[in-house]
């Protein structure tokens, strides 16, 4: 809190950490490996699987296999106890920064996949227009584009209607 962060909840077990992370949607979750009910690694896996928050793992153990488990579970940073207060801030900033970067990359990938899917659908619709209406590729593209503008639809929506009209 002294560094300008707001602590929105404290819990005693991993299951509660997952539940409150879903409810409160914090930017960062700090988990101890040794937590009752569900350990910190399992909680990290659940939180990371749903991309809910950045994860910082705290532990008294620095064994290589545990560090690797935490990384595979989705931890963005790992801090070994005992640690000094000044050690926590860089770990928090690194975890939060990595999570933001990853979220941005995932959004970019989703956008590119959507664009690629739309392009494939438009290409298929152009093929139908060329085959059934005798249009050139450029004419088919312009026709889809014009219909989309006039009807206030996306080109993909118009293309899907064309494909449906011509039976797939």
- pLDDT tens digit sequence for 70-116: 888 989 998 888 888 888 888 988 998 999 999 999 999 999 999 99
pTM confidence score:
0.69
CATH number where 138 lies:
1.10.10.10
Report pLDDT for 46. Answer: 94
Range of the domain at 68: 14-83
Q: Which residues of the chain have pLDDT under 50?
A: none
Do 92 and 77 meet the contact criterion of CB atoms below 8 Å apart? Answer: yes
The mean of the pLDDT values for the chain is: 91
How many domains, in total, are found in the chain? 2
69 plus 123 within the same structural domain = no
Backbone angles phi, psi at 55, to 5 degrees: -125, 130
- 121 by Cβ neighbours in 10 Å (0-12 / 13-18 / 19+) ranks as buried
User: Is residue 126 within a helix (H) or strand (E), and if so which, with residue range?
Assistant: helix 85-133
Residue 79 CB contacts under 8 Å (≥ 6 apart), including other chains: 56, 57, 58, 59, 87, 88, 91
Six-digit token pair at 34?
């040794």
């Amino acid at each position: 809190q002294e560094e300008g962060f707001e602590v929105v909840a404290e819990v005693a077990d991993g299951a509660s950490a997952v539940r409150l992370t879903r409810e409160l949607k914090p930017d960062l979750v700090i988990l101890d490996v040794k937590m009752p009910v569900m350990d910190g690694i399992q909680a990290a896996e659940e939180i990371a699987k749903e991309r809910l928050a950045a994860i910082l793992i705290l532990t008294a153990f620095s064994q290589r296999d545990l560090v690797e488990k935490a990384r595979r579970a989705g931890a963005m940073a790992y801090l070994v106890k005992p640690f000094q207060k000044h050690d926590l801030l860089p770990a928090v900033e690194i975890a939060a920064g990595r999570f933001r970067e990853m979220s941005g990359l995932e959004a970019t990938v989703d956008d590119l996949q959507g664009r690629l899917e739309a392009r494939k659908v438009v290409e298929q619709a152009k093929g139908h227009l060329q085959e059934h209406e005798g249009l050139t590729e450029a004419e088919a593209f312009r026709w889809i584009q014009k219909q989309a503008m006039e009807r206030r639809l996306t080109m993909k929506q118009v293309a899907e209607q064309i494909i449906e009209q011509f039976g797939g």
